[in-house]
Structure 1
């Protein structure tokens, strides 16, 4: 790789990283705000909130990465054109296809990253989210116990909490336990927390009083405690999690079990998801080829470059929208998968053909003339009047 190739390669990947992090961060924030109830109504900690919401990032990157690559290639080519570097390279004998080579190297890096995310990282994150959500839902302390309400956990067990505080702290805890017919236990505690270990789930009560009424005794036994563990394992049992299609690894989609109930019910969705995973690393090559085909040749006017930028955006957007439509149709129509593969091959083929042929995609002369007349009319209407 020559010095020019290294320069373009580094510039493209640096722009790609900035765009990818920015877009992913913005979309992640919008997704994370939907799970804010983990910290409020369900009393989870900030670490739990960040842990669960961050697991969706690989799935977001899987969709955003090809688009970020397209933006980074557009930025790099626009930078080279603004500094007149493309014109100098063209005058020095660099063909468009030769200039395209460092962008192919950068695209290969992105494609490998996308392939790894599609095969393992994204489904692994989704299944962790599902398992984590199931654990939280199965926990009675986050699902049943609501502030200010008396919760009947068992026929003879009632618990009430006054409020939930940040960090999973429960304030104002009342427990009325009558499960043992020989005694009745009433507990009032200032605050408490939930602790889980290999021994089970426990409600750790602090700074409270315990009253025990026994059948054969007249007076109750009153105990003041600083710390008391109340066993809640019976009411906090986990359950098996059924993995959906998006939570399956690539090799699980390739060879599903014959007795898999989901595969038996909806084999078409398995097929559509499998081919989506296969095509995920192909989209970066299609986006790169189409973007360079529009922007990779020298331009002499600003209108021509703006037209090329708009054309590349429309081409990439149209290719992706058709891909989404084919993915939906592939659930019921296997032929849609073939259409999607042919569409990607056609996109790459047309882009590479334009690059090799050195074709310059220019806007029609009539369109440029109409744009110039419109700009002149706007200047006459809104431009500042000349001063003497």
Structure 2
């Protein structure tokens, strides 16, 4: 790799990293704000909140990476064109395809990153997210017990808490336990905390009293306590069996799914669509980079506008991605749609490479530019005729 290649390669990858981190960070924050109730209403810590929301970052990176690469290639080409470096390289005998080579190197790096995320990292993060979410939602003390509400955990068990305090402490606890047909327990405690160990989950009640109404006795037995452990293991162990969806499956699980899996039998078309989405994910960076370079990589003088080329590149990339989404949805019902998706991607790459190798400069038709200029002139005349406000 020569000095020019290294310069363009470093510039493109640096721009890619900046754009990727910026876009991912913005989208992650907007998504994370939706789960802010995890801390407020369910008593989870900030570390739990950040840990859960960050597990979705690989999925965001998977979607954003091709777009970030397109922006990075556009930025690098614009920088080279502004400094007249593309014209100098072309005058020195550097063909457009030769100039495309360092961009291709950068695209290979991005494609490998996308392939790894699609095959392992994204589904692994989604698996952990689902496991973590199942543990939280299965924890009745964190999810079901809401301040000021009577929660009926069992037909004969009712619990109410007055409020949640910092540090996970529960205040104003009332328990009505009628699960034993021979007695009825009523427990009132000033406050309590949750404790989990190898024996199970317990609600540790402090500063309260217990009333036991036994069958056949007229007076209840009342006991004051400083500390009392109420077993909640039966309720906090719910939902630990997690069934992974399609997006939580690794690539090799999509290639050779278990035919006995009920989910595979019910959603075979969606498994097929997800498999082809994983396969096409690393192809999109090549398509986006080739399309962008085909529109912006040709040498132009400073008098030639690049606005049309930039807009056309954005429109082509956007159209290609939207067509990919549409064909992915159609793949659920028709396997031929997956073939069309591959033909579309490789066709876009092939046409772009043909334009780059031939050195074709993609410019708008002269008639279109004349129509735009006439329209702009008409607008300027109308603006000049408008009376100025005093």
Q: Same fold (TM over 0.5)?
A: yes
In structure 2, the CA distance between the partners of 1:361 and 1:172, relative to structure 1 (3 Å rule), is same
Q: Separation in 1 of the partners of 2:228 and 2:8?
A: 65
Q: CA deviation at 1:371?
A: 2.9
Q: Which residue of 1 aligns with 2:314?
A: 313
Q: CA deviation at 1:303?
A: 6.1
1:340 aligns with 2:341: yes
Q: CA deviation at 1:155?
A: 4.4
Q: Which residue of 1 aligns with 2:9?
A: 9
Q: CA deviation at 1:193?
A: 2.9
What are the within-5 Å matches in structure 2 for residues 179-218 of structure 1? Answer: 179-180=179-180, 185-206=185-206, 208-213=207-212, 215=214
Q: Separation in 1 of the partners of 2:303 and 2:176?
A: 78
- Aligned to 2:361, the other structure's residue is in SS state coil
Q: Return 5+ residue gaps in structure 2 as ranges.
A: none
Instruction: Please give the root-mean-square deviation of Cα atoms over the aligned residues, in Å.
Output: 2.4
Q: Separation in 2 of the partners of 1:167 and 1:297?
A: 62
For structure 1, which segment, 53-62 or 41-50, has the greater mean C-alpha deviation from structure 2 after superposition? Answer: 41-50
> How many residue pairs were aligned?
383
Q: Separation in 2 of the partners of 1:153 and 1:325?
A: 45
Q: CA deviation at 1:59?
A: 1.0
Q: Separation in 2 of the partners of 1:73 and 1:281?
A: 17
Q: Separation in 2 of the partners of 1:219 and 1:118?
A: 63
For structure 1, which segment, 27-36 or 97-106, has the greater mean C-alpha deviation from structure 2 after superposition? Answer: 27-36
Q: Which residue of 2 aligns with 1:96?
A: 96
Q: Which residue of 1 aligns with 2:45?
A: 45
- Aligned to 2:189, the other structure's residue is in SS state strand
Q: Separation in 1 of the partners of 2:152 and 2:231?
A: 16
1:366 aligns with 2:367: yes
What are the within-5 Å matches in structure 2 for residues 254-269 of structure 1? Answer: 254-269=255-270
- Aligned to 2:196, the other structure's residue is in SS state strand
In structure 2, the CA distance between the partners of 1:271 and 1:182, relative to structure 1 (3 Å rule), is closer
Q: CA deviation at 1:221?
A: 4.8
Q: Separation in 1 of the partners of 2:12 and 2:232?
A: 55
Contact 1:304-1:362 at 8 Å conserved across structures: no
Q: CA deviation at 1:167?
A: 4.8
Q: Return 5+ residue gaps in structure 1 as ranges.
A: none
- Aligned to 1:304, the other structure's residue is in SS state coil
Q: Separation in 1 of the partners of 2:303 and 2:136?
A: 56
What is the TM-score of this pair, normalised by structure 1? 0.91
Q: CA deviation at 1:25?
A: 1.6
Contact 2:87-2:301 at 8 Å conserved across structures: no
Q: CA deviation at 1:293?
A: 0.5
Q: Separation in 1 of the partners of 2:89 and 2:175?
A: 79
Q: Separation in 1 of the partners of 2:47 and 2:228?
A: 26
Q: Separation in 1 of the partners of 2:284 and 2:167?
A: 43
Q: Separation in 1 of the partners of 2:252 and 2:68?
A: 27
Q: CA deviation at 1:6?
A: 1.2
Q: Separation in 2 of the partners of 1:365 and 1:358?
A: 19
What are the within-5 Å matches in structure 2 for residues 26-105 of structure 1? Answer: 26-105=26-105
Q: Which residue of 1 aligns with 2:140?
A: 140
- C-alpha deviations, 1:180-229, integer Å up to 9, x for none? 566655433333332323221122334x223354757968454342x543
1:229 aligns with 2:229: yes
- Aligned to 2:282, the other structure's residue is in SS state coil
Q: Separation in 1 of the partners of 2:371 and 2:197?
A: 73
Q: Separation in 1 of the partners of 2:28 and 2:297?
A: 33
- C-alpha deviations, 1:124-176, integer Å up to 9, x for none? 11122222222222222233222112223334433110123455332222223
Q: Which residue of 2 aligns with 1:280?
A: 281
For structure 1, which segment, 365-374 or 228-237, has the greater mean C-alpha deviation from structure 2 after superposition? Answer: 365-374
Q: Separation in 2 of the partners of 1:3 and 1:383?
A: 52
Q: Separation in 2 of the partners of 1:116 and 1:209?
A: 56
Q: CA deviation at 1:49?
A: 2.0
Q: Separation in 2 of the partners of 1:20 and 1:194?
A: 41
For structure 1, which segment, 306-315 or 46-55, has the greater mean C-alpha deviation from structure 2 after superposition? Answer: 46-55
What is the TM-score of this pair, normalised by structure 2? 0.91
Contact 1:161-1:173 at 8 Å conserved across structures: yes
- Aligned to 1:39, the other structure's residue is in SS state helix
- C-alpha deviations, 1:345-385, integer Å up to 9, x for none? 11111111111111101111222223333334444444799
Contact 1:46-1:167 at 8 Å conserved across structures: no
Contact 1:39-1:166 at 8 Å conserved across structures: no
Contact 2:211-2:220 at 8 Å conserved across structures: no
